[in-house]
Structure 1
Amino acid sequence: MTTIPQPSEGMNSHADVARVPSALPLLDSDVLRTFVAIAESGSFTRAAHNVFRTPSALSMQIKRLEETLGQSLFVREARRVRLTPQGEVLLGYGRRLLRLNEEAVAHFIAPPLEGSVQFGSPDDVGSRILPRVLAQFARSHPGVQVEVVVGRSVDLLERVDAGELDLALVTVGNQGPPAERGEVVFSEPLVWASLAGGVAIERTPLPLALANHGCAWRSLALDALDRSGLDYRVAYTSENCAGQEAALLADLAVAPLPLSLLRAPLRIVEAGAGLPAIGEYQMAMVRGANTGSACEVLGGHVIEALQGLR
């Protein structure tokens, strides 16, 4: 009988060490929360106020995080800080990790939510963030039934007043609902958009693609044009932003759109084209008379997703 020699204990240990990779460092949730707070506020001082710590403590956390990852995450400027390209990548991971952490804790600790929520949203928000928000909410709170109504802000506000909606996100403008009707949760620049390489911007009078009357984007853009004295005509009117985009893609007009909504082949009209600055529009969360915990939790998910558009 032939005996096969076995490797010595030292040989086993050496082989095992060679096969096992070094453990990667873990990202601390508290440090990630600090990082996200600084990225979203653009300031160590404002972030320190939000997380109830001193700016120096936040600086030490970020320094250790940068050393751990071997990457510079922020560019320090005179009055603000901005993310480096690697910081932008980490911001996406950080938001997802914090959200998953909250979902996991809520699953075991938070009381289960039940009931139904009637939620109203403008078309542009419905297409940009709602699918992701509702999917996440359904995973976290399967006992809550959410019914969504997509429509104009003025109509949504009427349905809140009539008790048909528990919660609604509405666009605030100089002809829209006043900000006092709800909590302003988001603001974003409106920009002039056109087809890249198109000629609509060169036409006189300027052809516009606008939403119907009552839209905050429409009223803000027309006010800016009226103040500038620029000659224009409304060439295309649509119930929703998809109609405006269709007119832009056909090179029929230019349109006021939120900055986060622009996608190639659409582009921002350059400042040298002579169009006036439009300014920012706001969105407010309006709550009905009898909202409960499910409404508040869903509203929090929507607000978080909006902040991620910045």
Structure 2
Amino acid sequence: MSQPADMPGTLPLLDTDVLRTFVAIAESGSFTRAAQQVFRTPSALSMQIKRLEETLGQPLFVREARQVRLTPEGETLLSFGRRLLKLNEEAVSQFLAPSLEGKVRFGTPDDVGTRILPGLLAQFARSHPSVQVDVVVDRSADLIDQLDKDELDLTLVTAGNQGQDPSRGEVVHTEPLVWVGREGGIAAQRSPLPVSLAAHGCCWRSMSLDALDKAGIDYRIAYTSIHCAGQEAAMVADLAISAFPQSLVKPPLTQLGTQSGLPPLGDYQILLLRRDGLGSASETLASYVKDMFDRFKT
């Protein structure tokens, strides 16, 4: 039976094996290096990519002398490709991997909990519905203390110039700490400089105070809060400026430029700490945490 004229044709399906090849080439920047990763010859990879480009009707790579780079269409497909491969992995694991059960006690600082945790826990719960995850949101120093007392299995903590020793945990995220204030505000022009700080024990607090002291800038602590929302409220009201992760800056807040005369703060890190003797459920959640931060970077 012929297809009605107004019915669209069936769209082609993307082959998972070809997508894996495409992602390997995109991430390595080389057909040769990607071939070693997927255990095929460079010529076989070239044929796969040629067929993929013909299927999509778009060029995906610009081939240069020593490397290849993605076209705009290739960059779009890379995002889809990573997600499709991850979804395929989750689907297969759901049926072939042993069913996980048990409880994981997981700690996180406030800033991580608000921007990363909701999506992470939702994804983990879909894949492992029999695992109970108990979450504690607290200061990094208190989370470390709870881990040492065997009250937590995993915890994320922040570390900076004066923060937690990075050798104790695994660095899962690094980003700049920057000075932030309300766009068009005047708080940064006041003297002494009003600052909004995290609570004692937070590396953001120590990094900002150390920088101001070394620069010889007169300041006053106008606002202190254990939660990011409290610091943000003071900045939105133009009562103070604050040291904030660059990724958290959004209107009406803005990063204060070098013309403000404020000293650089440097990078801070998020570390993943584990207690000894983790079970399989905790180790699986740890892998989800690292994967979530990898995607957060992109």
The TM-score bracket by the shorter chain reads 0.7 to 0.9
Report what 1:44 is aligned to. 29
Structure 1: how far apart are the matches of 2:118 and 2:199?
25
Output the amino acid matched with 2:168.
Answer: R
1:184 CA drift (Å):
1.0
Matches within 5 A, 1:170-189: 170-189=157-176
Question: Aligned residue pairs: how many?
Answer: 293
Of 266, 270, 273, the match for 1:286: 273
Q: Deviations over 1:227-258 (max 9, x none)?
A: 33333222111112111111111111111111
Change (3 A) 1:204 1:30: farther
Report what 1:110 is aligned to. 97
Q: Could you state the TM-score of these two structures normalised by the residue count of structure 2?
A: 0.84
SS of 1:136's equivalent in the other structure is helix
Q: Indicate conservation of the 8 Å contact 2:195/2:220, yes or no.
A: yes
1:127 CA drift (Å):
0.7
1:17 CA drift (Å):
6.1
Structure 1: how far apart are the matches of 2:173 and 2:113?
15
Calculate the aligned-residue CA RMSD, in Å: 3.3
SS of 1:52's equivalent in the other structure is helix
Q: Indicate conservation of the 8 Å contact 1:199/1:251, yes or no.
A: yes
Change (3 A) 1:106 1:256: same
1:85 CA drift (Å):
6.4
Matches within 5 A, 1:1-310: 13=2, 16=3, 18-33=5-20, 44=29, 48=33, 52=37, 60=46, 68-69=55-56, 89-310=76-297
Structure 1 consecutive aligned stretches of length 4 or more whose deviation exceeds 6 Å: 56-59, 61-64, 72-77, 79-85
Change (3 A) 1:207 1:290: same
- Unmatched tracts of structure 2, length 5 or more: none
Asked which structure has the greater CA Rg, the reply is 1
SS of 2:155's equivalent in the other structure is strand
Output the amino acid matched with 1:238.
Answer: S
- Unmatched tracts of structure 1, length 5 or more: 1-11
Q: Deviations over 1:62-118 (max 9, x none)?
A: 7775665455768999x9999776566545433432332121011111000011100
Output the amino acid matched with 1:202.
Answer: Q
1:119 CA drift (Å):
0.4
1:226 CA drift (Å):
2.6
Identical columns (%): 59
Structure 2: how far apart are the matches of 1:165 and 1:231?
40
SS of 1:235's equivalent in the other structure is strand
